[in-house]
């Protein structure tokens, strides 16, 4: 069994102009979690973000959307971690991933930041990479010089449908993830989205 999840962080950028961009896939996920489990986000100045509390599989879980912009996400995560005395191992960070095609979701423990500025800042500020991750594929534009434009442009209808499907698949295994049965959740999710 893995550590139980007490905090789910969705990564994204605040503001209307970013709401429909690929880089906000983490926000989309935690918004769906809040909808499914009857939580509502409230602005929390002390956490530099929006937070909600939900009950998943009889466990109290915080949801967090940092409002710091992506490259300072760790400030918000650290503030909530310290306030509620949550350990790194009890955090699930949900983020967009260029290395996975749209429609694929993958669970992962540890690892580097892979060039993702939100992960980079969390690792730097929060004491390492010992948190769990949910990677939501957004596809790669094919050229590293086009990455910034790719992640910050509005997602196509086709890719949006694929990402929504990946979010639904991840939501289906969330009770196991939260309860600490990470391996079972991983096996189930990776079988559903059987691509690399």
Residues labelled as active-site residues = 23
- Sheet with 42-44: list strands edge to edge: 42-44, 49-56, 59-66, 7-10, 91-97, 132-137, 105-109
Structure tokens at 93: 């960070």
Residue 6 phi/psi, 5° resolution? -110, -15
Contact call for residues 7 and 65 (beta carbons, < 8 A)? no
CA distance 35 to 179: 20
């Amino acid at each position: 069994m893995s550590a139980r999840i007490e905090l789910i962080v969705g990564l994204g950028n605040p503001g209307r102009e970013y709401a429909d961009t690929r880089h906000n896939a983490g926000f989309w996920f935690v918004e769906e979690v809040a909808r499914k489990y009857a939580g509502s986000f409230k602005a929390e100045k002390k956490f530099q973000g929006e937070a909600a509390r939900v009950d998943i599989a009889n466990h109290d879980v915080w949801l967090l959307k940092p409002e710091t912009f992506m490259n300072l996400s760790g400030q918000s995560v650290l503030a909530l971690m310290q306030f509620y005395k949550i350990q790194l191992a009890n955090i699930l960070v949900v983020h967009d991933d260029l290395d996975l095609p749209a429609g694929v979701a993958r669970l992962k423990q540890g690892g580097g930041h892979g060039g993702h500025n939100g992960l980079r800042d969390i690792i730097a500020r929060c004491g390492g990479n010992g948190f769990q991750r949910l990677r939501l594929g957004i596809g790669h534009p094919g050229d590293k010089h086009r990455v910034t434009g790719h992640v910050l442009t509005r997602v196509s209808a086709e890719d949006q449908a694929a990402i929504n499907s990946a979010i639904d698949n991840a939501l289906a295994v969330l009770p196991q993830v939260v309860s600490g049965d990470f391996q079972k959740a991983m096996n189930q999710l990776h079988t559903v989205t059987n691509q690399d």
